[in-house]
Chain A
Amino acid sequence: MGSATSDTPASEPAARGRKPLTDAAETGLKIVVVGGFGVGKTTLVRSVSEIRPLNTEEVMTQAGVGVDETDGVRGKTTTTVAFDFGRISLNDRLVLYLFGAPGQERFWFLWDRLFSGTLGAVVLVDTRRMDDSWYAIDRLEHHRTPFVVAVNRFDDDTARHSLDEIRLALALPEHVPLIDCDARVRTSGKHVLVTLVDHLYQLALAQESTP
């Protein structure tokens, strides 16, 4: 013990290029980016984030109900889930955090936690693996988390399905915005976020006008 102050080199986060928030920052907001493996979640987060995306993990110790399919081992259900996040300072007071969450079914418990209090979600779709998006969309609807769907166009996607075709394939209701994007490009990533928040704004307006 007593060694707490002896590790100064390692405990100087500023020296490592960590970018602190302003002292006036008071409200953290969340947007979740979901999608299958390799669809570009981290790429999208990186393209708009003011910090290099960080990775953290949650150890989930669940006492039970329907956890995984490793059945028989009740009580021994500790799972570690890693996820990436980035940050955007919207102004001096508001800070938006973007979370990249794996969309697969076995991560449902992480979602429940991530989604609590989230503004909304972006479902990132790879048209070559559309199946990966269904579960994500289903869960968002279940949670009543408002979302938009962004199709990350990959250069080697030869099929080039139209947005109408994709809407049909995903059985996506008309009121859910569906857009193209290139997750690598900052302006495109920014457009995805603006589309989502604009959608949220319209929903909030409609709600406010119906007492």
Chain B
Amino acid sequence: MTRRPVDTGAPDRLYTVTGGRSRADDSFDLVTLVVAECEPSPGMQSEHVRILELCRHPTAVVEIAAELALPITVIRILLGDLLATGTITARHPRLAQSAAASHPDTALLQEVLHGLRNL
């Protein structure tokens, strides 16, 4: 039932997936929503293909990582590739950077409360 993970933790496999890179694109938050802007094209790396398929609807970075069974860092690298070629767009969270400095505004929190109460 469950799909076989692409990766089972072997570092050399991760190395291959990312082409040896280890610096991830930090602009991708765990909850940045990623949207594919085109269909996969022939010859694309299979992980890129799967991301584009997954992101036909908005999909958070953590969900992509879970579905592809790859660490977040690796996903960030792969997303950086796709962003650079314009094949995805990213909807970043409003509160991304600092936790302490910017408290969410009351309007947003009211919306969250409303949503939770309607569950």
Contact B54 A13 (CB under 8 A): yes
A205 to B113, CA, bound (A): 14
Given contacts A25-B33, A96-B112, contact A13 B53 (CB under 8 A): yes
Given contact pairs A4-B49, A118-B99, A145-B99, enumerate 12 new A-B contacts (beta carbons under 8 Å): A28-B33, A85-B62, A95-B31, A117-B95, A117-B97, A117-B98, A194-B116, A197-B112, A197-B116, A200-B103, A204-B104, A205-B106
- A contact face: mostly helix, strand, loop, or mixed: mixed
A25 to B34, CA, bound (A): 10
Contact B116 A117 (CB under 8 A): no
Nearest opposing residue in chain A for B69, CB measure: A56
Contact A116 B112 (CB under 8 A): no
Given contacts A7-B46, A97-B31, A204-B103, contact A91 B111 (CB under 8 A): yes
A118 to B97, CA, bound (A): 9
Min distance, Cβ B75 to any Cβ of chain A, angstroms: 9
Contact B71 A144 (CB under 8 A): no
- Nearest 4 interchain pairs by C-beta: A90-B115, A28-B31, A20-B57, A54-B66
A-B contact count (CB 8 A): 175
Min distance, Cβ B45 to any Cβ of chain A, angstroms: 7
A69 to B4, CA, bound (A): 34
Min distance, Cβ A15 to any Cβ of chain B, angstroms: 11
- Counting CB contacts under 8 A, is A29 at the interface? yes
- Counting CB contacts under 8 A, is A70 at the interface? no
